[in-house]
Amino acid sequence: MNLQEFIGNIYTATGKIELREYRHWALTQLQQLLEFDGAIWSNGHQQTATFHNQTLFNVPEQLANSLLEYLTINPLADVLLTKLGSPVDMQDLLKDEEFYQSDIYLKCFKPCGIERILSSIHLDERTGLFTLLTLYRFERDKPFSADDKSCQKQALYHLLTAANHALFLQLEQHTGAIHHHKAICDKQGYLHQVQDSFLDLLERHYPQQSVPKLPFALNQFEQQSLANGLQVKLSAFNDLYLVELWPQGPLDLLTERELQVVQAIEQGLTFKLAGKQLGLSPSTVSNHLYRIYQKLNIGSKSELIKLMQQ
């Protein structure tokens, strides 16, 4: 597989592979481009300096714990932050004779059968979100090459972009709110995953605020509220929050029942049929429609339908 085929595969599969399987599947695609035996793909935030999620590929859970335990003696830890976007080979930092006698190898990597390590970090400076991808080989006589480095450098951006697209595409399929701009964040408001359009809206409505964190407290909202001209909708997403934003429009002034009436009218239903569908009398539907016209400052069904289509 060449690089262009790899890129095409991971993007076209975003709506076909189950979300919980997507990252693991994408790494199997990367294996066909770049030889490796195991990997860790992690995401985190610069402000919190912690990982939000990790995908372990053919390596034991023990490795993730060991990497944290021995972080202070891992020579990759500091160097990666100075070489953002550029893969770093452990062999470039420690000669083999030194590495294979070191504590980091003996305590962290050797117990997991790891002999060669190639790692890189991508930092999104706009959001503070970072992605760490580390590839492992289990055979000492198969070091990573310059071509392997180049390949990983180009692949990492597309991996994280495709995974982000897969997440929001499948969220869109489940929520059905295709016009909303979405982000996943924790209860402190730190972004975990985000769409560019979400960031664009925040920057437009909160020009003085930094983007890595939401400019409003989540606990001030219930399910849907207004903030600086933006409609904000919150939904639980595992132990995080799905935040949806969209610019406030005239239809946001309507109650839930009034929106149901509008949708029935848009379908071309008569007052009688709309009432039957909604469990209302035709006169009640008519009264709702009159109040809707007043709220929206319009005077006809055609004007209402035009608003719906904006």
Answer whether residue 174 shows pLDDT above 80. no
Amino acid 223: pLDDT: 54
Contact in structure between 131 and 160 (CB atoms under 8 Å): yes
pLDDT confidence tier of residue 185, bands split at 50, 70 and 90: confident
Question: Does 162 score more than 90 pLDDT?
Answer: yes
Give residue 175's pLDDT.
64
Alpha-carbon distance 144 to 35, whole Å?
Answer: 9
Please report, for residues 59, 230, 236, the alpha-carbon distance to residue 66 in angstroms, rounded to integers and kept in the order given.
12, 44, 32
Dist. CA 155–CA 152, nearest whole Å = 5
First to last CA, the chain: 44
Q: Is the whole-model pTM more than 0.85?
A: no
**pLDDT tens-digit series, residues 133-146:** 999 999 999 999 99
pLDDT at 222 over 70: no
Residue 202's pLDDT band (cuts 50, 70, 90)? confident
- Fold classification of 251-308 is Arc Repressor Mutant, subunit A (1.10.10)
User: Where in the chain are the domains?
Assistant: 3-173, 181-248, 251-308
- Mean pLDDT for 41-66 is 86
Q: Which CATH number fits domain 3-173: 3.90.550.10, 1.10.1200.10, 2.30.40.10, 3.30.450.80?
A: 3.30.450.80
